[in-house]
Amino acid sequence: MSEGTAAREENKCSLAAELLGCCGELRLRATGTSMLPALWPSDLITIRAEEFDRVAPGDIILYARGNRFFIHRVVKAPVDNGCRTLITRGDALAENDPPVCDHEFLGKAARVHRLGRPVSVRQSRSIWRQVFAAILSRSDFVRRLLLHLHATRTRAMNFHSRVPVGFTQERLPMTTCDGLHR
């Protein structure tokens, strides 16, 4: 990673932490595929500040490590020598991530919007979602096919939702620090 890119990523992580501390809420757009089928690329995820000790297995969390964001599901929350950590894993991944410490934790997913519509942020995954995630983690062909279909659907939805000049389109409200203190 170049020096400029590393500095930008560090600034993003710092800004996200500051916004969550100030405003209590942050919205991010998903870009990766590690959380398929729960989260898809271009999903809008609302992250809320949360106490580290209140996070439980099944929750989807945002954490920063090495100047990168990760949005993964908590699979365990062990306590070792009085120190609590979170063990996370992307739904479409086979391996757990290294333990997440409280200083890396930024917040918990509260809402998800896909193609402008709210979708459930479930704490537990049904057996069918688990099977689907296992197939996606093991089959590049199936994952690429579904991502292609999703991208095609997203482009079609964006094309059909364009608003003529002079009209307004309802958008998801963005939280500002000022808006929370009123």
- 95-129, pLDDT tens digit by residue? 999 999 999 999 999 999 998 889 987 766 678 87
| Residues forming a β-bridge with 70 | 63
Structure tokens at 71: 């949005």
d(CA 41, CA 151): 8
What local confidence, expressed as pLDDT, does residue 181 receive?
35
Going from the N-terminus, what domains does the chain have, and what CATH number goes with each?
A: 3-161 (2.10.109.10)
pLDDT value, residue 125: 66
Residue 111: strand, helix, or coil = strand
Distance CA 93, CA 96 (A): 8
Q: pLDDT tens-digit profile of 142-172?
A: 888 888 888 888 787 765 555 444 444 445 4
Q: Is residue 77 predicted with pLDDT exceeding 90?
A: yes
Question: Residue 160 has what pLDDT?
Answer: 55
Radius of gyration for the alpha carbons in the chain, expressed in angstroms and rounded: 18
Lowest mean pLDDT among 3-7, 83-87, 104-108: 3-7
Query: pLDDT band at 85, cuts 50/70/90?
Result: very high
Stated length of the chain: 182
In the prediction, which pLDDT does 163 show?
45
Tokens linked to 88? 């996370």
The tokens describing 46, both together, are 């609302």
Instruction: Say yes or no to pLDDT of 6 above 50.
Output: yes
The answer to whether the CB of 59 falls within 8 A of the CB of 73 is yes
pLDDT for the residue 124: 60
Two tokens at 27? 């919205």
For residue 137, the model assigns a pLDDT of 77
